[in-house]
Amino acid sequence: MNGAPHHKVRLAIFASGTGTNAQKIIDYFRAHPTIQVGLIVCNKAGAGVLSIASREGIPHILIDKEKFFRGNAYVDELKGSGIDFIVLAGFLWKVPAALVSTWHKRIINIHPALLPKFGGKGLYGHHVHEAVINSGDTESGITIHYVDEIYDHGAPIFQEKVIIEEGDTPETLAKKIQILEHLHFPRIIEKVIEEKQNS
Ligand code: GRF
């Protein structure tokens, strides 16, 4: 036995929007020996991430709010797809307790600010950067963290900062943050999974 696992760790990427993070994650794990992106889960018809899924030939599920929050939260579908790990990459709904408990400590999220500041309901996308700029803070950044039942609340895994310069706007800040997201998220996902496998 050469020690290679019987199967690759299968990731599901949950996303609601454009999917630039999803694309970077897909690229990063494209030829990875032990980890693969097995599913894209989206809650918004027509979202950019769905075109990425079809272009990449990755199966996708377009989820329904009723079933997600008052049904089985797609636990059976995710298990049926052999999902080992869930990555939220711009997913705007709260994750139901059924998913958090089934994939305990195996769901991670990226937030475009330095949590616990500027987190929680309604603080997503440009709303975050507007709040940061309006606060007069001189730095922002990204936070990658485990997901629990409360928005943007789980244990932190990784943070990286950017300096906010005179004249920065929510748009210029968003650009700086996006560079960090694309640079770090795939690598941190790999690190977390490999640490869990070796524990
Ligand atoms: C990113 O800002 C990420 O931090 C947040 O949602 C956004 C997703 O952007 N969670 P994209 O759809 O990956 O471009």
* Tokens linked to 16: 């609601």
Residue nearest to atom 9 of ligand 1 (CA): 90
What pLDDT score was predicted for residue 45? Answer: 98
pLDDT in tens, 112-146: 999 999 999 899 999 999 999 999 999 999 999 99
What pTM does this model have?
Answer: 0.95
> At residue 189, what are phi and psi to the nearest 5 degrees?
-60, -50
What pLDDT score was predicted for residue 5? Answer: 53
- How far CA 180 is from CA of 13, 47, 55, 70, in Å, comes to 19, 23, 25, 36
CB of 186 closer than 6 angstroms to any ligand 1 atom: no
CATH 3.40.50.170 fits 9-198, yes or no: yes
The whole-number average pLDDT for the span 15-24 is: 98
- Ligand 1 geometric centre to CA of 89 (Å): 6
Instruction: Sketch the domain layout of the chain as residue ranges.
Output: 9-198
CB of 89 closer than 6 angstroms to any ligand 1 atom: yes
What pLDDT score was predicted for residue 121? Answer: 87
pLDDT in tens, 79-111: 999 999 999 999 999 999 999 999 999 999 999
